[in-house]
């Protein structure tokens, strides 16, 4: 990876939904969060790059070595700016290593063609690729009540479920069927129909069921957010509000996620961030 691509990774947070969540953070925390997301994006790029399994495994091994370097006593030798920033954040905010390790386990789950029999299996994947990021972020945001860790886990699951529902067909094109087989069977939807973009009554019923599940995890997250930590979790709540907006748009389109990707327009993301920062209720 050349120097310019490293810098692209480090600034990638500015072109995602997450930028709008972090715009109101103090500079030190914002840089730390961007470093975390740059590291996570680097892992995503490895598993989404189309490498053969052996090459991808080698790349993930190097990815783990980069994490080792960030946790090393002396990380001054790191040449990539996002890794230097991550090493600083790890030390400054005392970020535990386990969520990063679990994240890598989740990335490894995407290396092979993806298929989940049950929601319990899928929930482990959601924990590893999304809830872990939440657990890392709350260390940077700062919190007092241990229940806030449960908030992060449930919110991460909710956000990942929204991603899955929005990208059903795109994921299927990559050989990844995240919707559990037990749910497909329940509503009579075949995996091949997701790939083909078959929009019919069974698919609508399936999507309604899955969207209700995502709302359930949003609700669980809100129940776990203690009053003393609401202020420090503003960035997480902005992220929740933006993804809640995506979920509502999926429903407004009568669950037709095929064709044009469901998005929240940038001006509305910024407005959402501003209103949530001011304390406006988003969960309606």
Please check whether the domain covering 113-284 is classified as CATH 1.10.600.10. yes
Tens place of pLDDT per residue across the chain (284 aa): 333 333 333 434 444 677 888 888 999 999 999 999 999 999 999 988 888 878 988 999 999 999 999 999 877 778 788 899 999 999 999 999 999 999 999 999 998 778 999 999 999 999 999 999 999 999 999 999 999 999 999 999 999 999 999 999 999 998 899 999 999 999 999 999 999 999 999 999 999 999 999 999 999 999 999 999 999 999 999 999 999 999 999 999 999 999 899 999 989 998 998 999 988 888 87
What residue spans define the domains of the chain?
1-96, 113-284
* 178 contacts 171 by C-beta, under 8 angstroms: yes
What stretches of the chain adopt beta strand conformation (E)?
114-115, 176-177
* CA–CA separation, 197 and 169 (whole Å): 6
The pLDDT of residue 51 is 83
Which SS3 state, helix, strand or coil, does residue 120 take? helix
Unique residue bearing structure tokens 């776990």: 224
The pLDDT of residue 141 is 97
Read off the DSSP letter of residue 146: T
The pLDDT of residue 16 is 66
DSSP H/E element including 176: strand 176-177
pTM comes to 0.91
């Amino acid at each position: 990876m050349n120097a310019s691509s490293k810098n692209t990774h480090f600034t990638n947070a500015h072109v995602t939904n997450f930028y709008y969540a972090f715009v109101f953070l103090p500079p030190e925390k914002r840089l730390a969060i961007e470093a975390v997301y740059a590291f996570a994006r680097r892992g995503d790029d490895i598993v989404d790059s189309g490498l053969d399994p052996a090459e991808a495994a080698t790349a993930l091994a190097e990815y783990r070595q980069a994490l080792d370097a960030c946790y090393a006593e002396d990380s001054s030798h790191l040449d990539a700016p996002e890794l230097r920033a991550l090493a600083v954040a790890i030390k400054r905010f005392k970020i535990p290593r386990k969520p990063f390790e679990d994240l890598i386990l989740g990335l490894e789950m995407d290396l092979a063609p993806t298929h989940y029999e049950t929601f319990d299996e899928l929930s482990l994947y959601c924990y590893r690729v999304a809830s872990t990021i939440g657990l890392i972020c709350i260390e940077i945001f700062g919190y007092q009540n241990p229940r806030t860790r449960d908030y992060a886990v449930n919110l991460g699951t909710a956000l990942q479920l929204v991603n899955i529902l929005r990208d059903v067909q795109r994921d299927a094109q990559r050989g990844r069927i995240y919707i559990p087989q037990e749910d497909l069977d329940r509503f009579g939807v075949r995996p091949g129909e997701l790939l083909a973009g078959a929009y019919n009554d069974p698919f609508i019923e399936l999507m309604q069921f899955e969207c209700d599940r995502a709302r359930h995890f949003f609700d669980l997250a809100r129940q776990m957010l203690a009053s003393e930590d609401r202020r420090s979790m503003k960035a997480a709540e902005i992220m929740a509000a933006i993804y809640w907006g995506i979920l509502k748009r999926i429903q407004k389109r009568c669950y037709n996620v095929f064709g044009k990707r469901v998005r929240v327009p940038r001006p509305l993301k910024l407005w959402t961030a501003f209103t949530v920062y001011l304390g406006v209720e988003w969960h309606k």
